[in-house]
């Protein structure tokens, strides 16, 4: 089987095949692709079909459905999700975190108690490491509490890269140079690695947020960052995901969405809170 | 350093599994969190539609209500659509809006047979909700049904809801239908305004 060129026709899934594939992917992962994404999907499916030496799409779909290890589905998902990000992206929400939200979260808590922050859809790790550095540098009460940082993604490859913590200059361009020097080790002309102490402080895990069993691991979160992840879900998938985030959050906990995402179009469970730096969404007290 | 290694729940199982038993039995639990977990677990079960619907009619906790609605949408069955439709007559605006949103997210093929009869309901508000909903359903009968409303409904506000839905469809075939409304209500300034707006929209002016 030959791969389609960038300018060529799509890989050749029939309308029924494409529909069957999208339904399957939606049910298993929550990822949702419309007809408009057909070329994107076709190309990635044909790449994987070529990689495993399968000529017929139905045969490949059966492999995805019935492979006991789930390995091929994972590899395909890795190709279907885009993981382009950089340090200190959408900094206004990190400003909001340290200027206002965390102070509210810990109000009334004893010194030494836990604060839990989760970066869902963390890709190659820029977001959780940015949160960690921002906390250490800018939250005045950081030493009073034991802060747990969780990071998860559905893509196993990017998680490995996140744990490795090696980045090129492009990822660090928005970061002040003194912080790069403080938290990274230069490996060569092109690459920097984040310090081991930070790498070890974050709990990275492979999580499909459409899977209630996996989501049950996450409870008592104070802040969830879920930025630019739900854009891959359809309306129902977004409702279900926000419902599971609701269960994962502590009362009065906050969820941070990407700048183009609005909770009002996904769920009425959360209360929008306008802070000087950003709008966050809060789980009500009861 | 203030960052400490996180401690997840390990091999946690969903609360629904951990609590055991049939989630149907704790759908009426006093604890809203337990009711929410029950509703979440029942989203895969068409047999739970009557219980979910019954609970929805009584539920006052917004988070549980949202989960009940999501569970009914998740089942995606005609029975679920039929269970949601009566709530369109609710006096509770939050519930009504949630139901409209939920019906929009269900398959058009199961929603349309439940909603289309509402176009002839005695309550004009119900007819308005039905027109709004039908306007958003990707169903082949949508334009004909809305055209029928515009040609026959005695209440101008219902007709205008259908006009709005038709205009959102962007189909130029809607223009003659909208223009007919101008003939039915020649003295209504808002109808005149809507017809002019439709002409501008469909002529690209």
Tokens of B103: 């019906």
Q: In the sheet where A184-186 sits, what is the strand order? A: A166-168, A191-194, A184-186
Separation of alpha carbons B178 and B167, rounded Å: 9
Cross-chain residue pair B13–A213, CB shorter than 8 Å: yes
pLDDT at B71: 93
In this model, does residue B200 exceed pLDDT 90?
no
Tokens of B2: 């203030």
B183 touches chain A (CB under 8 A): no
**Per-residue pLDDT tens digits for B123-169:** 999 999 999 999 888 888 998 999 999 999 999 999 999 998 888 77
Cross-chain residue pair B6–A144, CB shorter than 8 Å: no
Q: Which residue has the higher pLDDT, B203 or A244?
A: A244
CB A167 within 8 A of CB A95: no
Q: Cα–chain-centroid distance for residue A283?
A: 20
Does ipTM exceed 0.90? no
Separation of alpha carbons A140 and A95, rounded Å: 13
Q: What is the mean pLDDT of residues B177-191?
A: 89
pLDDT at B93: 87
Q: Which residues in chain A touch residue B17, judged by CB atoms under 8 angstroms apart?
A: 213
Q: What is the mean pLDDT of residues B55-80?
A: 92
CB B162 within 8 A of CB B149: yes
B67 touches chain A (CB under 8 A): yes
Q: Which residues of A25-57 are buried (b: 16+ CB within 10 A; e: fewer)?
A: bbebbbbbbeeeebeebbbbbbebbeeeebeeb
Task: Give the phi and the psi of residue A255 in degrees, each rounded to 5.
Answer: -125, 135
Q: What angle do CA B118, B120, B125 make, to 5 degrees?
A: 65
Burial of B183 per CB tally in 10 Å (0-12, 13-18, 19+) = exposed
By residue count, chain B amounts to 205
Chain A interface residues (partner B, CB cutoff 8 A)? 114, 116, 132, 135-136, 142-150, 197-198, 200-203, 205, 212-213, 215-219, 235-236, 239-240, 243-244, 246-247, 267-269, 284, 286
pLDDT at B12: 52
Q: Which residues in chain B touch residue A244, judged by CB atoms under 8 angstroms apart?
A: 40
Question: Minimum mean pLDDT among A67-76, B60-69, B83-92, B118-127: which range?
Answer: A67-76
Cross-chain residue pair A213–B5, CB shorter than 8 Å: no
pTM, full prediction: 0.76
Q: Which residues in chain A touch residue B45, judged by CB atoms under 8 angstroms apart?
A: none
**Per-residue pLDDT tens digits for A189-235:** 889 999 999 999 999 999 998 888 888 889 999 999 999 888 888 88
β-bridge mates for residue A203, sequence order: A150
Q: What is the mean pLDDT of chain B?
A: 87
pLDDT at A34: 78
CB atoms within 10 A of CB B40: 24
In this model, does residue B46 exceed pLDDT 50?
yes
pLDDT under 50 in chain A at which residues?
1-10
Those residues with Cβ within 8 angstroms of residue A237's Cβ, 6 or more apart along the chain or in another chain: A26, A30, A31, A32, A210, A230
- Helix then strand count (H, E) for chain B reads 12, 1
User: Which pLDDT band holds residue B19 (cuts at 50, 70, 90)?
Assistant: low
Q: Which residues of B77-86 are buried (b: 16+ CB within 10 A; e: fewer)?
A: ebbbbebbbe
Q: Give the gap in angstroms from C-alpha B67 to the nearest C-alpha of chain A.
A: 7
Separation of alpha carbons B178 and B156, rounded Å: 12
Tokens of B50: 């009557």
């Amino acid at each position: 089987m030959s791969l389609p060129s960038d300018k060529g026709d799509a890989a050749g899934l029939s309308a029924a095949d494409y529909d069957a594939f999208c339904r399957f992917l939606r049910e298993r992962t929550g990822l949702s692709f419309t007809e408009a994404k057909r070329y994107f999907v076709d190309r990635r499916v044909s790449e994987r079909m070529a990689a495993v030496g399968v000529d017929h799409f139905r045969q490949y779909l059966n492999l995805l459905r019935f492979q006991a290890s789930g390995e091929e589905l994972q590899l395909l998902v890795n190709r279907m999700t885009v993981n382009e990000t950089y340090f200190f992206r959408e900094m206004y929400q990190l400003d909001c975190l340290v200027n206002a939200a965390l102070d509210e979260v810990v109000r009334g808590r004893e010194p030494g108690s836990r604060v839990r922050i989760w970066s869902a859809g963390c890709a190659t790790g820029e977001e959780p490491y940015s949160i960690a550095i921002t906390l250490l540098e800018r939250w005045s009460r950081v030493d009073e509490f034991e802060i747990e940082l969780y990071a998860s993604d559905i893509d196993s490859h990017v998680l490995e890269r996140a744990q490795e913590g090696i980045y090129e200059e492009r990822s660090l361009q928005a970061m002040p140079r003194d912080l790069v020097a403080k938290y990274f080790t230069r490996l060569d002309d092109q690459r920097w690695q984040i310090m081991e102490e930070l790498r070890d402080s974050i709990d990275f895990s492979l999580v499909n947020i459409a899977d209630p069993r996996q989501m049950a691991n996450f409870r008592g979160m104070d802040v969830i960052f879920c930025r630019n992840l739900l854009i891959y879900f359809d309306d129902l998938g977004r409702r279900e995901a926000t419902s599971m985030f609701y269960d994962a959050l502590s009362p009065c906990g906050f969820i941070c969405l990407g700048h183009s995402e609005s909770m009002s179009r996904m769920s009425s469970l959360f209360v929008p809170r306008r802070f000087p730096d950003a709008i966050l969404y809060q789980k009500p007290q009861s | 350093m203030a960052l400490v290694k996180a401690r997840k729940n390990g091999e946690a199982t969903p609360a629904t599994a951990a609590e055991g038993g049939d989630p149907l039995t704790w759908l009426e639990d006093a604890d809203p969190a337990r009711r929410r977990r029950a509703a979440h677990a029942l989203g895969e079960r068409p047999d739970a539609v009557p219980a979910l619907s019954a609970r929805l009619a009584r539920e006052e906790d917004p988070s549980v209500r949202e989960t009940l609605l999501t569970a009914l949408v998740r089942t995606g069955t005609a029975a679920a659509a039929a269970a949601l439709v009566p709530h369109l007559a609710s006096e509770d605006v939050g519930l009504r809006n949630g139901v409209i949103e939920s019906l929009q997210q269900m398959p058009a093929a199961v929603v349309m047979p439940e909603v289309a009869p509402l176009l002839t309901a005695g309550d004009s508000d119900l007819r308005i909700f039905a027109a709004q909903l039908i306007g958003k359903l990707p169903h082949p009968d949508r334009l004909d049904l809305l055209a029928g409303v515009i040609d026959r409904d005695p209440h101008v506000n219902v007709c205008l809801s259908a006009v709005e839905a038709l205009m959102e469809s962007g189909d130029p075939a809607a223009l003659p239908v909208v223009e007919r409304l101008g003939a039915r209500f020649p003295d209504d300034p808002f109808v005149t305004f809507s017809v002019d707006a439709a002409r501008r929209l469909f002529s690209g002016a």
